[in-house]
Amino acid sequence: MLSMKNIVKKYQMGEEEQTILKGIELSVKEGEFVSILGPSGSGKSTLMNIIGCLDSPTSGEYVLSGRVIAKLSEKELAKIRSKEIGFIFQSFQLLPRMNAAENVELPLVYAGIPPKERIKTAKNLLYRVGLENRISYYPNQLSGGQQQRVAIARALSTNPTILLADEPTGALDQKTGRQVMDLFNELHREGRTIIMITHDESIAENASRVVRILDGNLMETE
C-alpha cells in the first residue's frame, strides 16, 4: 500500500542546509497498524507530513496505492489528502461553532456528498465511536477524549485508505488515552490501516509493528 525508498528531506536554514530525514526506507501493508516512535526533533513530524502528502521529500521515491507521489499534480494530491488519508491530530482540530455531527460531516461537504447522506454517515460514525448521546454537542461541551472520538469519526467519514494519527493521545490523561487506544485497536481488528506517530513507548506498543526514528534515521524494532 505504501512504500518509501531512500527518502531524504533537507531544509535551508539561512546559509546552512539541514538534513532532517536521512534515507528513510518504509513499507506499510494494507491492514497494518504501524507506530513511528521517536523523541521531539527526531524527524517524525516531517515524515508524517510526507506520508500525508502535506510535504514532499528532497529526494527519494514515495509510492502510495501504486502511484508515484512526485508525479501527481497538486489537484491530485489534494484529492488524496481529502479522500484517501484520514488525519487525526493531537489538538483535535474541531471547529468550535459546529456540533459533533457537523464536524464529522465537514469532509463530506468538501467531497460534494448530498446533505441526507452526510447526516446519516455522521450519525452512524458517532454511534461507532460511542458518542450516540453527544451528536448535537459542541466541542466546548465535550471532554478531551470525546473530542478525539469526534475527530476519529471525522477521519473515518470518507472511508480513507489510511488513518494517519499524530500523537493522538498527547493531549489526554492516561485513562482517556487508553480508551482512545482501545478504539484504534478495534479499528485495526476491522482491517483498517493505521499509521501512528508518537513519542510515548507505551502508546506505540499498541501497534502490531513499531519502527523507531532517531536523528532522521528509521529502524525496525525487534
* Domains annotated on the chain, with CATH: 31-56+74-220 (3.40.50.300)
> At 75, is the secondary structure helix, strand, or coil?
helix
Residue 222 has a pLDDT of: 55
Residue 92 has a pLDDT of: 87
Residue 58 has a pLDDT of: 94
Q: What is the 3-state secondary structure (H, E, C) of 146-178?
A: HHHHHHHHHHHCCCCCEEEEECCCCCCCHHHHH
> At 197, is the secondary structure helix, strand, or coil?
strand
Where b means 16+ CB within 10 Å and e means fewer, 185-208 reads eebbeeebbbbbbbeeeebbebbe
DSSP percent split of the chain into helix, strand, coil, nearest 5: 35, 30, 35
User: What pTM was computed for the model?
Assistant: 0.91
CB atoms within 10 A of CB 15: 5
Residue 89 has a pLDDT of: 87
pLDDT along the chain (222 residues), means of 10: 94 88 95 94 92 94 94 92 89 93 92 91 93 94 93 92 91 87 92 94 93 92 61
Task: Judge whether 209 and 34 are in contact, CB under 8 Å.
Answer: yes
Q: Is 87 exposed, middle or buried (0-12, 13-18, 19+ CB in 10 A)?
A: buried
Our measurement of the distance from residue 161's CA atom to the centroid of its chain's CA atoms, rounded to an integer in Å, reads 11
Q: What is the DSSP secondary-structure string of 86-143?
A: EEE-TT----TTS-HHHHHHHHHHHTT--HHHHHHHHHHHHHHTT-TT-TT--GGGS-
Residue 110 has a pLDDT of: 84
Residue 69 has a pLDDT of: 94
- Which residues have a Cβ under 8 Å from the Cβ of 106 and sit 6 or more positions away? 95, 98, 154, 157
